[in-house]
Amino acid sequence: MQKWSRRRAQLSLLASLFTLILISSILSNHTSKTIHSPADQPPSFPTHTTSFNNSLQSTDEWLPGGPGWSRACSSPRNYKPRRGALAEEREWWKGRSLGGSCDLFSGRWVYDERSYPLYNESECPWMSDQLACRKHGRPEEQYKHWRWQPQGCELKRWNAWEMLEKLRGKRLMFVGDSLNRGQWISMVCLLQSLIPAGKKSMSPNAALTIFKIEEYNASVEFYWAPLLVESNSDDPVNHRLDDRIIRPDTLLKHASQWEDADILVFNSYLWWRSGPKIKLLWSSEYLTCEEADGLDAMRLAMETWADWVSSRADPRKQRVFFVTMSPTHLWKREWSPGSEGNCFQETAPIDREGYWGSGSDLDTMRMVDNVLTTLSSKVTVLNITQLSEYRKDGHPSIYRKFWERLSPEQLSNPVSYSDCIHWCLPGVPDVWNELLFNLL
Ligand SMILES: *[C@@H]1O[C@H](CO)[C@@H](O)[C@H](O)[C@H]1NC(C)=O
Ligand SMILES: *[C@@H]1O[C@H](CO)[C@@H](O)[C@H](O)[C@H]1NC(C)=O
Ligand SMILES: *[C@@H]1O[C@H](CO)[C@@H](O)[C@H](O)[C@H]1NC(C)=O
Ligand SMILES: *[C@@H]1O[C@H](CO)[C@@H](O)[C@H](O)[C@H]1NC(C)=O
Ligand SMILES: *[C@@H]1O[C@H](CO)[C@@H](O)[C@H](O)[C@H]1NC(C)=O
């Protein structure tokens, strides 16, 4: 482990520069237009109360991301942690035992052509053009045939009928960014073929998008909140990755959308990892604006989220999951020393046990670990980072739809625009959902 830590340190400067550029372009412009957009509707922006100053909140200025936000944040101060946040983190890695002998999240990938994929890409009407890799020309399909084999135990195989029973009368809601949206689309595709036409429906693409399963009175929903707290990136179409302003202590508008869901699956990570510093517009200290690096800002958001979970989620009625960092594969030399490139043209998983790339930030994992520890049994962790680390072959690379026009220079150098962040479907997110199925 020490070896890769050192290596990671060497790479991290360059890597952060590059991730900045790559992630910015991949996350900011396409995440929005990913799903089925027959009539790409303007997103409806729920205008719920925030905890903003009442005398101002009625004006457009102060709507999320409105001019008021920018004005308040025109010359931010540097953020200083208010509590001993850093000290807390020294204590991590006290070996969070998962209880029992089996850790579903450590194991290996086994090639299994017979039982995987669990559904057909072309038969899922809600497949995203961002993730439909065969449709966009991916020449081989081994990436669809991998099964996750935990060490020392068996994963209960995906059973869509059983999942539907678990969902009967319930709302399952995914909340987060485009990675979580990929997991939501995977879940929709995993279930939808069992439901006859006319008994299922998808609401138009908006901040909250709902797949309804009539006979089961169930729904599988996705709510766009890439930074968990309120921010100027809450519009699923118009993002501002380059000038993020978050309300670190405010998520009531979001919570009003998710609070009635029975099963909540949250994620957040990559939006904190790229771009310049993040501005913090506090509501407790009205009109003060600070700026912080991604990790500090994410910690604040996670703490606000954790406050919501501990005070508002009802463990008797609600299950809450948190999905850990989704790895990226932007640097081929990390798994194949001496090579140039990224995930483009990778067709097999990494077979080095414990492989960990620079895209999965250990400090973030520690921070998340600490926050989740404070919530103990109220949140179940879907610790997908290590298992997904192996899957350098699982990304769309160039085999997806790109909404902006690619220049001739880009086209002549496919590595330059490969998407090594999202995941092809069928593929890795199906396994995340199998794990969710096992833990429900
Ligand atoms: C995003 O798209 C807009 C137009 O829709 C374009 O002007 C802008 O340069 C793009 N940004 C990135 C980072 O690709
Ligand atoms: C709300 O704003 C008004 C006018 O801008 C100000 O007088 C008042 O003190 C503010 N209230 C709070 C709770 O910040
Ligand atoms: C996918 O389609 C093929 C042929 O169209 C069929 O043989 C196979 O059973 C389908 N797989 C699933 C998981 O539905
Ligand atoms: C359907 O589920 C919702 C909760 O998601 C519940 O409020 C409602 O009563 C259910 N309806 C029926 C007919 O079971
Ligand atoms: C997830 O698993 C990794 C090992 O793969 C571990 O280091 C980390 O603490 C775990 N994170 C959480 C939040 O459980």
Residue 244 within any structural domain of the chain: yes
3-state secondary structure of 211: strand
Sign for the pseudo-dihedral over CA of 99, 101, 106, 111: negative
Position 392 confidence tier, pLDDT thresholds 50, 70, 90? very high
Q: What is the pLDDT of residues 265-299, one digit of tens each?
A: 999 999 999 878 999 988 765 678 889 999 999 99
Q: Is 268 in the pocket of ligand 1 (CB under 6 A)?
A: no
Verify whether residue 361 is a known catalytic residue. no
**Would residue 111 count as lying in a domain?**
yes
Range of the domain at 282: 103-128+142-338+356-393+427-439
Q: Is 384 in the pocket of ligand 5 (CB under 6 A)?
A: no
- In this structure, is residue 11 part of a structural domain? no
Q: Give the model's confidence band at 258: pLDDT under 50 very low, under 70 low, under 90 confident, else very high.
A: very high
Residue owning the nearest CA to atom 8 of ligand 1:
29
Q: Which residues of 224-259 are buried (b: 16+ CB within 10 A; e: fewer)?
A: bbbbbbbbbbbbbbebebebbbbbbbbbbbbbebbe
- Is residue 320 in some structural domain? yes
| DSSP string over 135-175 | TTT----GGG-EEEEEETS-PPPP-HHHHHHHHTT-EEEEE
Q: What is the DSSP string of 379-432?
A: EEEE--HHHHHT-TT-S-BTSS--SSPPPHHHHH-GGGG-B-SS--SSSHHHHH
> pLDDT confidence of 205, banded at 50, 70, 90?
confident
Q: What is the pLDDT of residues 169-191, one digit of tens each?
A: 999 999 999 999 999 999 999 99
Q: Establish if 417 belongs to a structural domain.
A: no
**137 within domain boundaries:** no
Q: How far is the CA of 161 from the centre of ligand 3 (A)?
A: 17
381 lines ligand 5 (CB under 6 A): yes
Q: Rounded mean pLDDT of 302-306?
A: 94
Whether the Cβ atoms of residue 142 and residue 391 lie closer than 8 Å to each other: no
- Total number of domains constituting the chain: 1
Structural domain includes residue 46: no
Cβ–Cβ contacts within 10 Å for residue 203, how many?
12
d(CA 132, CA 117): 13
**Ligand that comes closest to the CA of residue 122:** 3
* Minimum CA distance residue for ligand 1 atom 12: 25
Contacts of 38 (CB under 8 A, 6+ apart): none
Per the domain annotation, does 7 fall within a domain? no
Highest mean pLDDT out of 49-53, 204-208, 213-217, 372-376? 213-217
Greater confidence (71 vs 307) lies with 307
Predicted local distance difference test score (pLDDT) of residue 242:
79
Ligand 5 atom at minimum distance from 368 CA: 13
